Structure 1
Amino acid sequence: MNQKGLKLAYFFAVLNAVIIGFSFLFTKMALENAHPLDTLTYRFAASFAVMSIPVAFGWVKLNYRGKPLYKALMLAIMYPLGFFTLQAFGLLHATSAEGGILYAFTPVVTMVLASVFLKEATTLLQKLSIFTSVFGVVFIFIMKGSSIDFSNLTGIFLLFLTCVVFAGYSVLARSLSKYYSPAEISYLMLGIGFATFLVVSLASHTTAGTLDRFFTPLASGTFIMSVLYLGVVASLVTTLAANYILSKIEASKMSVFTNLSTVVSMAAGALFLGEEITVYHLIGSVLIIAGVIGTNRLGRKKAVERMVRAERADHAEVR
């Protein structure tokens, strides 16, 4: 058991939550200058271009030969393609608050899928911890006066599907970690995301006769800064980190960290946008953090024993 690798995975999980929490700020700034689809295109262009540099110089080795490529393609279809497409269309029919509430249920969906497809077992206390974290997010939104309007069934259904595809990504990436390095999975995901969003965005502008608007945002320094953060930090770094995390810890444990981003985004809003922090924000944050800690600490001994048995089984297969 590599304890150093495990500690690094937890560090990356917290770092991911911080990065995603701040990404809401930069997304708001980027969308002031560009269409959502153009923003996604530039975002993945930045991430793919930066990762292509070490690949081109041979600093990062990639080898897809003899590996289950169709599963990696399925992974890219789930995330980023499926996730961002469903999110964009879902938010056309529903509010961002409804999106936030529904996205909070991702750890629950991940726990269910991980138990079915990966046979990941969670204790009763871990299940309660996951629900505590989810309740913390929902509690904050409800106290802010947000709720789910079931007349927006199309938007709600699409936003719920974002939970399913992200959970599916977490489960599939966990299983693919046996065959691919984090860099190999990430490069494929980012490349497919960039190519797809570029084609769709250009086709959309060409059809509408607005191709010149595709390049207009590049005149804004704020847009460029936002896209660099979203592309290089919030896409490239988090994708590499997430794929590394899923090679070390269970999908159900990693997914609960996504709710930490709610705490970070509130803190970022208070620091940089002057948004108010109330008592219910603090109560919700405590519930979220307690849920994350509980999910990853309770039943840890059993999880370590399972990982040791799995590693021994892998070594036995190699022999």
Structure 2
Amino acid sequence: MSTRKFDSPRYAYIAIVVYATIVGLSFLFVKLALQAADPLDTLAHRFTVAAAAASAPLLFGWRPRIRAKDLPGLLPLACFYPALFFAFQAYGLQTTTSSEAGIVHATVPIFTMLAAAVYLKERATLSRVLFTLLSVAGVVYIFAMKGASFAAADGRGLLLILLSALSAAAYNAGARKKSRQIPLADMTYVMTVIGFLAFNAIAIVRHGSEGTLGEYFKPFGNVEFALAMAYLGILSSLVTSFLSNFALSKLEAAKVGVFNHLSTLVSIAGGVVFMGDRLHDYHWIGAALIVLGILGANRRKPLVAKRAKEQATEG
């Protein structure tokens, strides 16, 4: 089967929807993991599993085709995501609530749009900007109605969450460019390995200083933790990285960024189905705003359509 069929934008949309679904359900497994390990160890073990899964093809002869000249541009990108994104998020959540973090993180599509405009020269139409803001408003409305308040919030925690959001936006813009220059599997592998090295180095140094290095892998004795790591490491880290890179290679960064809000809806649905959470009117209102925003921001392809029209005229 020819791989050219995957050039169609619809496969990119399928990829980003699957990505948002996996990420949206990951909170269930994060909760399970945090019952047996702290946030930093959870991140380290998560990327250990991801790196092991990503390295499995090496046993069957696959080799990354990353060239030395690709590394200077790729390493900073991989540092934005996963290293800085998850690090800022993990430490920020220690002093902020999930609702407060959710509101701040809702700004990712806005920052992505700005980064894409500056770095990629992708100009968003007024309608796309308005629909993106509508989607952001849906997320903010849900969390605000759940009782989020910044009155007593820790400023340092909010700053770290904001830096996490900025890291995600910088990654979205950078990956949009690099994913068209570097094979997706190779790019995903490098990102995963950097996450593995960064988080394990931090965790091991901390355990060493505390004299608890012998307990580092103890959480894996918990079956629920091991299952959570399998989901978070393989699906929610490795697979989502590949899906995100694939979508960014086909779609404008701002279009991909707004789909982050779909994860909020999946998280709510997961809470209802698996945790017995109740749906309230504000969930439905916020969900409607999010869906309308996503559909509106992606309903047209102004840049692609314009270029195709110009090429047809020139031909």
| Global fold match (TM > 0.5) | yes
Q: CA deviation at 1:213?
A: 2.2
State the partner residue of 1:195. 197
Work out whether 1:304 is the aligned partner of 2:304. Answer: yes
Deviations, residues 233-272 of structure 1 (Å, cap 9, x unaligned): 0001100000111110000000000000000000000101
SS in 1 for 2:227: helix
SS in 1 for 2:37: coil
Q: Is the 8 A contact 1:78 1:168 kept in 2?
A: yes
In 1, Cα distance between equivalents of 2:272 and 2:137: 22
Deviations, residues 183-224 of structure 1 (Å, cap 9, x unaligned): 111100100110121121111111101122212111111000
Equivalent runs, 1:43-82 vs 2, <5 Å:
43-58=46-61, 60-82=62-84
Q: 1:107 aligns with which of 106, 109, 113?
A: 109
In 1, Cα distance between equivalents of 2:249 and 2:18: 16
State the partner residue of 2:18. 15
In 1, Cα distance between equivalents of 2:281 and 2:38: 36
In 2, Cα distance between equivalents of 1:310 and 1:250: 19
In 2, Cα distance between equivalents of 1:309 and 1:228: 46
In 1, Cα distance between equivalents of 2:80 and 2:305: 31
Structure 1 counterpart of 2:183, which letter?
A: S
Percent identical residues: 41
Q: CA deviation at 1:37?
A: 1.2
Q: Report runs of 4+ in structure 1 exceeding 6 Å deviation.
A: 309-312
In 2, Cα distance between equivalents of 1:287 and 1:175: 30
Equivalent runs, 1:5-154 vs 2, <5 Å:
5-58=8-61, 60-149=62-151, 152-154=154-156
Q: Is the 8 A contact 1:97 1:146 kept in 2?
A: yes
Q: TM-score, normalised by structure 2?
A: 0.93
State the partner residue of 1:224. 226
Unaligned runs of 5+ in 2: none
Segment of structure 1 superposing worse, 174-183 or 133-142? 174-183
Rate the CA distance shift 1:93–1:2 in 2: closer, same or farther, 3 A: same
State the partner residue of 2:248. 246
In 1, Cα distance between equivalents of 2:205 and 2:73: 28
SS in 1 for 2:250: coil
CA RMSD of aligned residues (A): 1.9
Deviations, residues 45-90 of structure 1 (Å, cap 9, x unaligned): 11111111123313x4421125431111001110111111111221
Rate the CA distance shift 1:210–1:129 in 2: closer, same or farther, 3 A: same
Rate the CA distance shift 1:264–1:311 in 2: closer, same or farther, 3 A: farther
Unaligned runs of 5+ in 1: 313-319
Q: Is the 8 A contact 1:67 1:179 kept in 2?
A: no
SS in 2 for 1:198: helix
SS in 1 for 2:217: helix
SS in 2 for 1:92: coil
